[in-house]
Amino acid sequence: MIPMWAITGAPTREFLYERMQNFRSVGITQLMIYARSGMELEYMSDAWLDRCEWICEDAEALGFTSIWLYDEKNWPSGTCNGEVMRLDPDHAIRALCVTEPRPGEYEFHLRRGTEMADLFDPEAVDSFIRLTHERYEKRLGKYFGNLIKGFFTDEPDIAFFSGVKDAAGAVRILPYYEGLEEEYLQLTGGKLRQDILRGLKIGSSFWQIPFNKLVAKRFRTSYSDRLSRWCGERGMVQTGHLMNEYTTSLALKCSGHVLEVLSGFSFPGIDDIFTPLDTDKMEYLTYSSGMYAIEKRGNIGGLAELFALGPCDMTLERMCTHFFFCAAFGISRYVLAVAQTDARGNVEKGRYFNPFSETQPWFESFRELGECAALAAKWALKERDCEVAVRYPYEPQPLNDLLANLADAQLNWKLLLPGEETDAPMVLACAEGGIRIERPGGFSAHFGALKPILNKLPRRAGVCEPDGTSAHGIFLRTFKDGSALVINLSGRDRDLLLKTEGKSVAFHLHPTGYFTWEPGAEPKKLPERIFDLPADGWDIMPDSPNTLRAEFENGVCEFTLTENLPGLHLVLRNGVEPADVLLDGKKIETDSPCRSLVQGFRELYGESADFTLSKGKHVLTLCGKSTDYPYLPAVFLAGRFAADSRKTLSAYHNDGKGLYGYAGKIRLIRELDLPSGTDAIRADTLNLAAELSLDGTSLGRRIRNPFCWANPGKSGPVRVELTVFTSCGRLFGEKAFLDPRSNWLHEFRPDNGKEILAYGKN
């Protein structure tokens, strides 16, 4: 695992050292230094490079194995935060724009943009290397090839046409480089502009195939190969991912051809910011593209940037399952996006938030998450079966649909470029509105008609329901060593059978779980005598203050107390865009350091002295130009209280009720009689990470189902302590995510309407 460590603000060495020390304490051995929104240092300045040098020096001292360097500020990569174009405007991206000033009349214009470098131009790419890679080398060169393992490039894009004149009104806008039209003429015998015009008149893009071949080749040689060569000469790898890999139309537009360009990366990677576990939403094309490049590089592993959109209450079980889904496609390193040093970047990047840092109360569980990632990485290096090869053409085709159908049919596939040889038993290509069967031959108008042929393909294993029918809503990968991996994409509990090597292996899949099988192994079975923890009788003690986010409407937030409440305090944003708030018309001083919020937020907030509020209605008023950001609230009310979504507050009675805005550890304690002969103890944690202790002795932490602990021989009266670790998601309430203008903000919001605990006092 590689936390994508965004260095925000202008942190001191002591602050960074403390964060790194805490990462090491939970088993993290790799970090990526990431320049992102929220940093208050000039990018690539001495002050920035000082921080990078501190990190490398302290990483060695703390026993980190790997540091990775992100090669840009934000994204897309290739500009050194725009400096490439500022130094030489002729290094800006070029575009061939086709406009239609009058119906049926077309004009061509060569334009340059303002926001992206010309990644076709070797001189522009060399400028990017001088301004970025060589500056790092001057400061950090002694770490290259040992501590520093490589550079990560993020979404370089040959079609990033922001700032290109005529782009908005163009009927066609295409990537362009000097000599493109001559190369097109040599390749096709036709003139590019004439072919584009003819295509517009007849409603065809027949010119796109040779065009994409040319731009993909140029992009690879000028960018991917160039960066990989530079890194390789210094004992490092070039990694990262391309822009918009998830559909053929977008991938072809942004890179010419993802298979061609990504294969130029010495350690190929992909990006899955959505990370669903849903059979209808899986990015099979993205992962298959990565697998293609990984296998071209010798199947020694690859990289995935994961989880950026969250939500921030994503369970650790779901993360584990994604690691294994990555492994099914040869991906062995998992970049955790994003691990901000603090949350000030949420002002600019405000539509999503999923911190992989101490901001998460489950931070201690990084150790167990890392163990899962390490196991997945071993599976990534296995040699995969392949029953079907699928052509990835140089023109848009519905490959996602075809790959989803192959997954549903439990077949292993790989992608091929047009004309590429393969020994796969079947070769398919989308063409002419259907599916062309190159091997063994034929054509099918739809996938269903292929099933009789597909069913005859030899396969190592299959998964079925208990009644023997083929299972759907899963992903199956088989390997040449006889092992198999099954991912649950149905969102529900499943009892299934793996048919392999003449055996029928029964196994259970949890709603967001996975199952692995290796030859000769028997699936793990739950112990026979399991004691389920009782639902009530618990003392439930939060380790931190409860919080209630002020959710403003027209600058006003009302809340109600059912009784007088002492020990309350306001927590007000003051470290970035300080907020101005009145409580019942009065200003409350918040000059004390924040102690109520998680790390990453507490640095940006001040806290008031404790006060008492009386029973009844109270009002918080947002003043002046203060902004209440979705993931950087203006103000919280904090203290020991119970609260609900209606903003009704009362005293907390150690019963687990009213922890609506709580983020932290929760300790549940009670005495019980453990039956003699109990093999294991099971808890319903609502999928939160949890640790179980008996009579003060920890039995360990669990981060995924089954939340079951082996009994060390205890029976009779025993003191049980169950500690559950929440996410940070409950800090943010619900109202901020209802903005209809942002699909991401709404779709990837934390689910703060659900219960936090399955247990209670009574």
Tell me the CATH number for domain 465-523.
2.60.40.1180
What pLDDT does 741 receive? Answer: 73
Residue 550 pLDDT > 80: yes
As a whole number, mean pLDDT of residues 641-652 equals 97
CA distance 330 to 98: 41
Tell me the CATH number for domain 386-459.
3.40.50
pTM of the predicted structure, to 2 decimals: 0.98
CA distance 46 to 49: 5
As a whole number, mean pLDDT of residues 589-606 equals 98
Q: Pick from 664, 637, 661: which is nearest to 730 by CA? A: 661
When pLDDT is cut at 50, 70 and 90, the band that residue 166 belongs to is confident
What pLDDT does 762 receive? Answer: 81
In this structure, are residues 723 and 665 in contact, taking their beta carbons and an 8 Å threshold? yes
What pLDDT does 522 receive? Answer: 75
What pLDDT does 167 receive? Answer: 81
Residue 510 pLDDT > 80: yes
What pLDDT does 264 receive? Answer: 99
In this structure, are residues 265 and 242 in contact, taking their beta carbons and an 8 Å threshold? no
The position carrying tokens 């066609």 is: 172
β 30-35/2-6 pair status:
parallel
In this structure, are residues 661 and 733 in contact, taking their beta carbons and an 8 Å threshold? yes
Residue 523 pLDDT > 80: no
**SS3 for 254?**
helix
What pLDDT does 501 receive? Answer: 87
Q: CA 266: distance to chain centroid?
A: 22
CA distance 404 to 362: 34
When pLDDT is cut at 50, 70 and 90, the band that residue 300 belongs to is very high
Residue 502 pLDDT > 80: yes
Name the segment(s) of the chain with CATH classification 2.60.40.1180.
Answer: 465-523
Query: Which H or E run contains 261?
Result: helix 258-262
As a whole number, mean pLDDT of residues 136-156 equals 99
- CATH topology for 2-380 is TIM Barrel (3.20.20)
Compute CA distances 262 → 78, 407, 532, 735, whole Å.
Answer: 15, 23, 50, 41
What pLDDT does 165 receive? Answer: 85
The predicted-structure confidence for 367-413, as pLDDT tens digits, reads as follows 999 999 999 999 999 999 999 999 999 999 999 999 999 999 999 99
What pLDDT does 251 receive? Answer: 98
What pLDDT does 742 receive? Answer: 81
**Mean pLDDT for all residues in the chain:** 97
CA distance 378 to 675: 40
The predicted-structure confidence for 411-446, as pLDDT tens digits, reads as follows 999 999 999 999 999 999 999 889 999 999 999 988
With vertex at residue 596, the alpha carbon angle to CA 594 and CA 597, rounded to the nearest 5 degrees, is 85
As a whole number, mean pLDDT of residues 32-46 equals 98
Residue 270 pLDDT > 80: yes
Residue 721 pLDDT > 90: yes
- Number of other residues whose CB lies within 10 A of the CB of residue 544: 18
CA distance 227 to 265: 8
What pLDDT does 322 receive? Answer: 99
Residue 209 pLDDT > 90: yes
What pLDDT does 520 receive? Answer: 84
CA distance 291 to 268: 9
CA distance 164 to 158: 13
Name the segment(s) of the chain with CATH classification 3.40.50.
Answer: 386-459
Beta strands in 30-104, from DSSP E residues, in sequence order: 30-35, 66-73, 92-102
